[in-house]
């Protein structure tokens, strides 16, 4: 019986240790990631408004559409708590480029302000393009969802009408 009992002291120490490590990692990331991401985008755009717009549209569209599709497909397949957790984690991972850009745009720290200035100079129109791409991808997902739902309703209505027509008349 002693083999199946949980050592709660050890479990609490592990959980506290994991929380501390995650908090430290978040602190380091918040001070470095916005600058790093802004420089990566700035290197790709190289000061061109056209390039910034097109690259922003690409990043916004792809990295919004991909997480939404992954989440929808996983949740249509199975809706257990584990599947929901996996869908959320995969969605966040696939949305990281947009989330890093969002962190620069709405961030209040020094790193976010530095990233904002880098994007102003080296990647003009990237943030607007990213927003437009994200809105386009979201609109596409909503439109496809509408088509799928309305198709299901039409098939159900047709099936119901077919069943009523083939049923024997009441006597």
Successive 10-residue mean pLDDT values, the chain, 171 residues? 73 92 90 94 94 97 96 86 90 95 92 94 95 97 94 88 80 66
Other CB atoms within 10 A of residue 121 CB: 10
Query: 47: alpha, beta or left, given left = phi > 0 and alpha = psi -120 to 50?
Result: left
**Residue 8 has what pLDDT?**
86
φ, ψ dihedrals at 5, nearest 5°: -75, 140
**Residue 36 has what pLDDT?**
95
Which DSSP category does 109 fall into?
Answer: S
**Residue 76 has what pLDDT?**
85
Burial of 124 (0-12, 13-18, 19+ CB in 10 A): buried
**Residue 123 has what pLDDT?**
95
**Residue 166 has what pLDDT?**
83
Kindly report the pTM of this predicted structure.
0.79
Reading the block at residue 9, the tokens are 């002291």
Listed in sequence order, the residues at least 6 apart from 144 whose beta carbon sits closer than 8 Å to its beta carbon are none
**Residue 171 has what pLDDT?**
66
């Amino acid at each position: 019986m002693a083999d199946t009992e949980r050592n709660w002291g050890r479990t609490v120490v592990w959980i506290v240790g994991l929380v501390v490590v995650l908090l430290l990692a978040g602190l380091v990331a918040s001070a470095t990631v916005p600058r790093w991401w802004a420089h990566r985008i700035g290197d790709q755009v190289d000061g061109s408004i056209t390039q910034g717009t097109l690259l922003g549209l690409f990043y916004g569209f792809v990295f919004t559409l991909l997480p939404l599709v992954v989440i929808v497909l996983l949740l249509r397949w199975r809706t257990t708590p584990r599947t929901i957790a996996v869908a959320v984690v995969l969605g966040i991972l696939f949305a990281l480029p947009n989330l890093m850009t969002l962190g620069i745009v709405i961030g209040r720290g020094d790193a976010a302000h530095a990233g904002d200035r880098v994007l102003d100079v080296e990647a003009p129109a990237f943030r607007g393009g990213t927003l437009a791409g994200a809105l386009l991808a979201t609109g596409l997902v909503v439109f496809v969802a509408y088509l799928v739902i309305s198709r299901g309703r039409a098939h159900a209505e047709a099936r119901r009408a077919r069943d009523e027509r083939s049923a024997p008349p009441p006597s």
